[in-house]
């Protein structure tokens, strides 16, 4: 099975996240360590060449199979902004 992780940012006051995801594609093969953050975890990634930190708001797992690609687990992770205080409290000084 192949695992693909996509982060999508949801701005405050918006009903749904943006349609774009992080700059680098995150694909893992079965047997590799797959770092899937939980709801409430903070994550940092690049989007539009800018690194920012976010909090995981929700996760959705979609499973599919095609003869060409085999089994795929697509993990969609919606993130929201961290407040400045929350970001400072989550990082080591």
Q: What span, in angstroms and rounded, lies between the C-alpha atoms of 63 and 69?
A: 12
**Contact (Cβ atoms closer than 8 angstroms) between residue 53 and residue 87:** yes
Q: pLDDT at position 4, please?
A: 95
Q: What is the pTM of this model?
A: 0.84
Domain count within the chain: 1
Pairing of strands 70-81, 2-9: parallel
Q: What span, in angstroms and rounded, lies between the C-alpha atoms of 55 and 9?
A: 10
Between the alpha carbon of residue 30 and those of residues 62, 63, 66, 72, 73, the distances in Å are 16, 14, 16, 10, 10
Per residue in 37-93, pLDDT tens? 999 999 998 888 888 899 999 999 999 999 998 999 999 999 999 987 777 776 665
Q: What span, in angstroms and rounded, lies between the C-alpha atoms of 23 and 10?
A: 16
27: containing domain: 2-90
Q: pLDDT at position 21, please?
A: 86
- Encoding tokens for residue 51? 């690194």
């Amino acid at each position: 099975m192949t695992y693909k992780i996509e982060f999508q940012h949801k701005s405050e006051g918006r009903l749904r996240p943006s349609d774009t995801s992080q700059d680098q594609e995150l694909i893992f093969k079965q047997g590799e360590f797959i770092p899937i953050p939980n709801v409430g975890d903070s994550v940092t990634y690049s989007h539009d060449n800018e690194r920012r930190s976010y909090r995981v708001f929700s996760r959705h797992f979609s499973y599919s199979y095609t003869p060409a690609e085999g089994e795929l687990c697509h993990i969609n992770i919606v993130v929201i902004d961290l407040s400045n205080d929350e970001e400072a409290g989550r990082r080591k000084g």
